[in-house]
């Protein structure tokens, strides 16, 4: 057991009724002991205390001022509230005494998403998409570009502001999440100890975020609808934060303005474009064809495979194909998809 707080401050932290969550994460954990059940239980109780803190009146008033400001100028700002579909891990590397932490606003004590991180995630998602590969100059105008022989550097015409947590969108913004480490010695000693099926799993409490965030885009109105569609697509398909391969960090509603329901999956778009170029066919033909189904069946990543199937099924249902496949190739494709669901 390693003491982390001076003895004179222990009672002050223990008695605090309105403690700043960020302060409790960085400074409030009294002693480190992650080797025993009792030590891990103390850590869990500390995280539960942090997760029970609701937004203060100070934060609610500040949020309302910001919301009123950006909503008052519809030509300059695009404001959209987007809810988390799964829980979110942000700021894990800034864990302080808890080893893993959460991105907390230093003034208001509530989780937030940094605008620069949002812009970087959207830019990376769009540049990797078929649209971004076909129109790199548009991406440079929207998101900026490094200096080159052609130009001295671009800042990008759109600003993505910090996303604020929406009060009332969940009982509390933070929630305890349990991540189980199955090979503690393997990860803790950087692979020096081999992982084994005989290793005992160790549950590890961490702080996750839930609820809805207020996203704000600032810039000229001409392409604002495109910037918003890109934001929706990024949040629903690529997500934000850590542990996305495990399903964390995805948001609800990412049609990207296409009118099609369900989460968009970049793999599906890329696979369809590849089939269109290979077979010189139309996108609808590639979507309902056996070639896409066979490419989907070959996906090794189970998480990607599940998200791709959800996207394909949503697109088929939008066309009315899922229950009534149009043609022999579509019926063979449906058989392949149905095998995975059975």
Please report, for the chain, the start and end positions of each structural domain, with discontinuous segments joined by +: 55-254, 265-342
Least confident of 72-86, 96-110, 234-248: 96-110
Q: For residue 179, is pLDDT > 60?
A: yes
Query: What does the pLDDT average to over 291-301?
Result: 92
In the block, tokens 């109105």 appear at 221
Q: pTM here?
A: 0.65
Mean pLDDT estimate for the chain: 81
In the block, tokens 């189980």 appear at 180
Beta strands in 90-193 (DSSP E): 112-113, 159-160, 163-165, 174-181
Query: What does the pLDDT average to over 14-30?
Result: 68
Query: What does the pLDDT average to over 94-101?
Result: 60
Highest averaged pLDDT of the listed ranges 49-53, 201-205, 252-256: 49-53
Least confident of 47-61, 155-169, 196-210, 215-229: 196-210
Segments in the chain forming alpha helices (H):
7-15, 21-27, 37-51, 57-71, 115-127, 130-134, 136-143, 184-188, 224-233, 266-279, 283-288, 290-297, 302-319, 328-341
Task: Report the pLDDT value the prediction gives residue 260, as an integer from 0 to 100.
Answer: 37
Q: For residue 171, is pLDDT > 90?
A: no
Q: For residue 151, is pLDDT > 60?
A: yes
Task: Report the pLDDT value the prediction gives residue 259, as an integer from 0 to 100.
Answer: 35
Q: For residue 320, is pLDDT > 60?
A: yes
Would you call 200 exposed, middle or buried from its count of C-beta atoms within 10 A (0-12, 13-18, 19+)?
Answer: exposed
Distance CA 96, CA 114 (A): 19
Encoded tokens for 166:
């929406």
Q: 193 near 210, Cβ under 8 Å? A: no
């Amino acid at each position: 057991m390693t003491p982390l707080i001076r003895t004179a401050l222990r009672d002050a932290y223990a008695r605090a009724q309105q403690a700043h969550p960020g302060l409790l994460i960085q400074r409030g954990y009294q002693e480190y002991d992650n080797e025993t059940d009792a030590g891990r239980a103390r850590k869990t109780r500390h995280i539960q205390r942090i997760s029970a803190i609701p937004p203060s009146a100070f934060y609610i008033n500040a949020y309302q001022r910001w919301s009123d400001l950006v909503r008052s100028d519809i030509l300059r700002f695009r404001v959209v509230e987007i809810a988390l579909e799964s829980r979110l891990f942000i700021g894990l590397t800034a864990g302080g005494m808890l080893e893993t932490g959460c991105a907390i606003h230093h003034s208001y004590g509530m989780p937030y998403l940094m605008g620069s991180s949002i812009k970087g995630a959207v830019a990376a998602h769009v540049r990797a998409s078929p649209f971004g590969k076909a129109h790199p100059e548009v991406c440079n105008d929207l998101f900026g570009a490094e200096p080159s022989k052609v130009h001295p550097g671009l800042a990008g015409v759109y600003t993505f502001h910090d996303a604020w947590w929406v009060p009332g969108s969940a009982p509390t913004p933070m929630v305890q999440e349990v991540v189980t480490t199955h090979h503690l010695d393997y990860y803790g000693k950087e692979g020096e100890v081999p992982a084994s099926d005989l290793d005992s799993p160790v549950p590890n409490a961490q702080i996750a975020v839930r609820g809805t965030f207020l996203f704000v885009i600032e810039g000229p109105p001409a392409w604002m609808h495109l910037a918003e569609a890109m934001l929706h697509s990024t949040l629903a398909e690529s997500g934000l934060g850590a542990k996305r391969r495990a399903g964390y960090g995805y948001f609800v509603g990412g049609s990207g303005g296409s009118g099609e329901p369900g989460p968009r999956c970049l793999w599906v778009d890329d696979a369809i474009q590849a089939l269109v170029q290979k077979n010189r066919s139309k996108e609808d033909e590639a979507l309902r064809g056996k070639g896409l189904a066979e490419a989907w069946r070959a996906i090794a990543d189970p998480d990607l495979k599940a998200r791709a199937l959800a996207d394909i099924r949503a697109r088929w249902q939008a066309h009315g194909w899922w229950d009534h496949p149009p043609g022999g190739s579509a019926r063979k494709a449906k058989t392949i998809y149905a095998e995975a669901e059975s």
